[in-house]
Structure 1
Amino acid sequence: MRKLKITLFIGILMVVLSACGGTSEGSSSEGTGKYDLMEEGKLVFAASGEFKPFSYMEGGKMVGYDIAVAEAIAEKLGLEPVQKKAKFSGIVTGVKQGRYDIAVASHTITEKRLKQVNFSDPYYYSGPVVYTRPDSDVKAADDLKGKKVSVSRGSTYVEMAKQYTNNIPQVDSDVVALQSLAKGHHDAVITDAVTGSTAIENGLEIEKRTQLGVSKQAVAVPKDHDKLLKDINKALKELKESGKLKELSMKWVGADITQKPDKSNE
């Protein structure tokens, strides 16, 4: 009888301890499994690898500002970052379908994309700019009417270009569009201000003509992953407040693009 009571007491104690461990905030049982990830303990993120200085290939892996931000977020969440290179035009759909946990790929927040995924707070701000060759007669946005304007496939610049012309060659990346522009294959390119400036610094003979607005770039997160989204926003907030996000921006982009401009097109 005495042995039965001891056994019963130990059993009850184990149940109590197990229950306490399961409800304790920050416990291991609530760790990596709390986000419903593709693989426990890992954060699989997508980027294009074709958008220098945000994501590009170096030594067989992707590097750049987007990649550094994704890795910093993963570290804050206590997860191992796993990068996946994908065509930009299919990344949002990939997040929606569960092929990636998140995307850190310079996606501009738009109503169309918000129908498929949720977005974090912005981790940088930029804006669409019209680039041409130095000898071009395109000086302002209205001069794009009827022109051949190239953009990155799947980007927000496709719809923007449609406001001015129906002749819109779509290519796999903004860099390819700018390189083709410099070679005389089309009249103009609408792309991100930072990407265009970087291309000019790297020797492409193109010029900035006019800026069309300001955009907010954020992390794409699957719908119904509220805990993941909340913690990513918390991580971004901490990275901003500590100065780490600015540090990464300066390292990879050469400027602080983490602060919201005075004027935007919200």
Structure 2
Amino acid sequence: MAKKRYDKGALFNDYLLTLWRGMEHIESVFGVKGLLDQVFGVEAPKGGAGELHDLSQITPTAMAHVEKSCAWVNMSELYDYAVEGLLVDGRQAEELVLYGQEILLALSTEGSSPCQEWTDIVSMGDARFGLHDGASISPEKIALLANVDLRTVRNAISAGELNAEKIMGVMLVDHESAIRWLHGRRGFKPTRIINMQDVDLQEIDSALALATLLKERRQKLALDEHRDILPSAHPAVNDQILNDLEEGLFALPLDAAFPLADFYRLERTDFLRALMRCFYPEQYKALASNA
């Protein structure tokens, strides 16, 4: 049974509130001042022990300050890796997971801690790294990666679809068995390396500019070798569609944007925005003005 995917926006809001409470707690325990201002910037939220913490009290400037911090960049990339299967070229998956775990521990106090979803994401990241590293994996982590409940995994073990055994009292699924089973699950997203170097999609504002960028990127990264991944990623994408796109024509539903971004190894959201700017300018302006 598939479960609802995690919402990055909601997780950022949880991170903000937990960060606020955590920094206040440290200021109170150690009798120091100014920590909130450093973490949130000059417009840090002001509260007090026992007071209600409301997101509306955190200004957009303070949110933007937090969003640029090394800690949040790591948590954001950890989310992309664990949930979406996207790893920026050159980033170490193990470091993302370990640093993410440290951040969650640092934010955990007696009165406040990050939501359970963050713990799940760290577990998913650790499980995904384990798949790359050839390690056996727990049924709980397989369930997270496959986006199914634990009962589904246990049923697969009972049916012999997954090879599992107890090692020092802990049930673990064989690495190769886990990979085969996960790749047969609709909810599982295989890991893909994305290369975002020297690409600024925010400057792309015409169909010709986008077409030129994509054509150059296909040649530079030798992506013709991987065109076979697209039909399974989206049923409407084929060689002719790719050729049309690289000539400045886009005749696909917008749900093809993310598979295309993965194929060209571009950041998904920035690529979607570029498509909207280039091919749906009026709709993009309407959305941007209401944001």
Q: TM-score, normalised by structure 1?
A: 0.23
Structure of larger gyration radius: 1
Q: TM-score, normalised by structure 2?
A: 0.22
